[in-house]
Amino acid sequence: MNEGSYLILDTETEGLSDDCHIIEIAWKLVKSHDVTTVLESFTTLIQPEEGWRITGSKWKQSEAFFANGITFDACQDIGISKEDMMLRFMDAVGRATVIFAHNIPFDLKMILKFCTPDQKDILASKTYACTLQLAKKALPLIKPKHTKGFALKEVHNSLFQEPIKDQHRAMGDVNATCRCLKSLLEVTTYEEMTLSQFVPAIHKKKWSERAT
């Protein structure tokens, strides 16, 4: 694809289960023919709501906190509301030709929790690609001796022989994904996917119609 732009995103969450929420998000909008050309870069913490895990007394003993180090106070003090974040995110989505993330089904599952019905309809119309799946296809061509897994840190280390700077913070992982994407696309192409492949019921009826 010679024209358009890629939206490369990452989310940091309270954990991996269905009752967890995004507490930090980052994205870069880059030119599709040159992912080093950044058109927009944004990151923010999310203000938590009552009942979220990060508001609880056990948060600092959680596995997620040990991974990302994000505190309730930081989210409360400098974060923005999930509604304001989604307005900014959907503006970037509207300018993107393809949306990328590493293990994108997880990020989309978390983002959909914050969406209005109309926003879900817009996301259902977009094209997606997963750098984890791309790495499984491309990395053996670049590094035939690669024997580790395909988590972002493993792909990045295999390609560049160095750790991710600011790993498990959203913009640190976005930067690493951008860097990996550039190398992976030099040897193969990505598979285009739709949201219905991650959420099979999404095209049965428009989300905005369900809400009426």
- The CATH number linked to 197 is 3.30.420.10
Residues above pLDDT 70, as percent of the chain? 92
User: Which range marks the domain in which residue 111 is found?
Assistant: 5-210
Segment 77-97 shows an average pLDDT of 98
| Beta carbons within 8 Å of 128's beta carbon, 6+ residues apart | 98, 99, 100, 104, 108, 192, 193, 194, 195, 198
Say what the pTM is: 0.91
Segment 28-38 shows an average pLDDT of 96
pLDDT classification of 175: cutoffs 50, 70, 90: very high
Tokens standing for 68? Answer: 């990302």
Segment 152-166 shows an average pLDDT of 94
Segment 106-115 shows an average pLDDT of 95
Segment 96-107 shows an average pLDDT of 96
The pLDDT assigned to 199 comes to 74
pLDDT at 81 over 90: yes
- Residue 36 parent element (H or E): strand 34-45
Would you put residue 62 in left (φ > 0), alpha (ψ -120 to 50) or beta?
A: beta
Total domain count for the chain? Answer: 1
- Rounded CA-CA distance 94/65 in Å is 32
Q: What is the mean pLDDT of the chain?
A: 91
Segment 67-85 shows an average pLDDT of 96
The pLDDT assigned to 209 comes to 56
Question: Per residue in 181-195, pLDDT tens?
Answer: 999 999 999 999 999
Residue 100 in contact with residue 8, Cβ under 8 Å? Answer: yes
Helices and strands in the chain: count of H runs, count of E runs: 9, 5
